[in-house]
Amino acid sequence: MSGIVKKSFNNPDEVRSPDKANVHVCDLGGVAAAKMVLQPGWSWSTCIKPVVGGESCQASLVLPFTCTTIFVSLFSIIFLLTCGH
């Protein structure tokens, strides 16, 4: 990738709507950036796994987020992430 790519999630290249989620995807010259808005009750295992298969998420992720509190379950370990900490 050369140069700087400027995109807005207000005008995404792709919009995905899996169960209990809304995902706006912007292509940044071969690297995808996604903004996910998750509804209460969302979990990877019940909302995404049936679509993609496999036992765990295979995507490489960088997770900046805006929230009050989020619970993340990764490989049977549950993390509690609270913004500002």
The tens digit of pLDDT for each residue in 40-78 reads 888 888 888 888 888 877 776 665 655 555 555 555 554
Task: Give, for 73, the enclosing helix (H) or strand (E).
Answer: strand 69-74
Going by the DSSP 8-state scheme, the letter that residue 50 receives in this structure is H
Task: Write out pLDDT tens, residues 29-40.
Answer: 887 888 888 888
Q: Does the predicted model carry a pTM greater than 0.75?
A: no
Strands 69-74 and 32-38, how do they pair?
unpaired
Q: Identify the pLDDT of residue 48.
A: 85
Q: Looking at the predicted structure, is the pLDDT value of residue 11 above 90? A: yes
Q: Identify the pLDDT of residue 85.
A: 38
Asked if 44 and 57 count as a contact pair (C-beta separation under 8 A), the reply is yes
